[in-house]
C-alpha cells in the first residue's frame, strides 16, 4: 500500500472555509471517481500562530493506481481551483511512502 501525503496552509480566517471545500467538494469528487486501488483519505489539521496547516493522506494499493488518478507524473499535487482560492500556500508535489505496517493499540 502507498500513502500519498500533501500539505496545504490557510490563514486562520480561511481554515474553516478550506475544510468545508475539502470535505464537501474535493473529497466527494475524488471518491465519485470510484478509482480502482483507492482505499481512503485522512485529513489532519493543526493551528499555528499565523496559519493553519492541513495534511491529507490518501491510501492506494500501488503507484500504478495513483498514476490512474493524476497521471504519469504522479507526484504532481491535485489542488482544485475552489481549494486554491482559500489556501495561502500548498505543496506543488505530493510525497509517497510505502506503508510497511499498521498497528492498533
3-state secondary structure of 59: strand
Enumerate the domain spans of the chain: 2-98
- Global pTM value: 0.92
Q: Which CATH fold would you assign to the domain 2-98?
A: Alpha-Beta Plaits (3.30.70)
How does pLDDT run across 9-40, given as a tens digit for each residue?
Answer: 999 999 999 999 999 999 999 999 999 999 99
Q: Tell me which H or E stretch contains 42.
A: strand 38-47
Spatial contact of 60 and 29, defined as CB atoms under 8 Å apart? no
Amino acid at each position: 500500500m502507498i500513502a500519498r501525503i500533501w500539505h496545504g496552509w490557510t490563514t486562520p480566517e480561511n481554515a474553516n472555509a478550506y475544510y468545508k471545500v475539502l470535505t464537501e467538494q474535493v473529497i466527494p469528487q475524488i471518491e465519485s471517481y470510484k478509482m480502482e486501488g483507492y482505499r481512503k483519505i485522512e485529513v489532519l489539521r493543526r493551528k499555528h500562530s499565523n496559519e493553519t496547516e492541513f495534511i491529507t493522506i490518501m491510501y492506494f494499493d500501488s503507484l500504478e493506481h495513483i498514476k490512474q488518478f493524476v497521471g504519469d507524473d504522479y507526484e504532481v499535487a491535485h489542488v482544485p481551483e475552489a481549494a486554491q482560492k482559500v489556501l495561502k500556500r500548498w505543496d506543488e508535489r505530493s510525497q509517497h511512502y510505502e506503508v510497511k505496517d499498521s498497528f492498533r493499540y
